[in-house]
Structure 1
């Protein structure tokens, strides 16, 4: 008997052949929205930067990833790490 139950809440399939590392993902309110909802930021070594606003899977819809994608940008250089926070001196 288990006390915990794991289930998929949200998922996204990223580009084929892209490489990622441990610093490639962060979660936070990157757009400073008034609602305070967190976004998922993913960067790859191929220079692809994506920002998702995840929401629970709806059993009737299959296009959840496209609706959750807020930003997708191809940069010239590799993305080594992404961070979210208050940067003060």
Structure 2
């Protein structure tokens, strides 16, 4: 991701959006995305229930990991969107 951000800014320098997973977001990645021109990061949360998310969706991550990702993105000034499954 870091290499992509560097090359994208050098070659295109056009604002862009990305989809990501919460466990992939950290301060370094968020800063690189912002610097490269990213304006929004869409995160696949799927469910707020950790048990359901792990058992039925095979997404074994804690709610704390998800909240941390959103806090990091907000601190960088990146807009955030969560993807959820209802029903």
TM-score for the superposition, normalised by structure 2: 0.22
Give TM-score, length-normalised by structure 1.
Answer: 0.21
Structure whose alpha-carbon radius of gyration is higher: 1
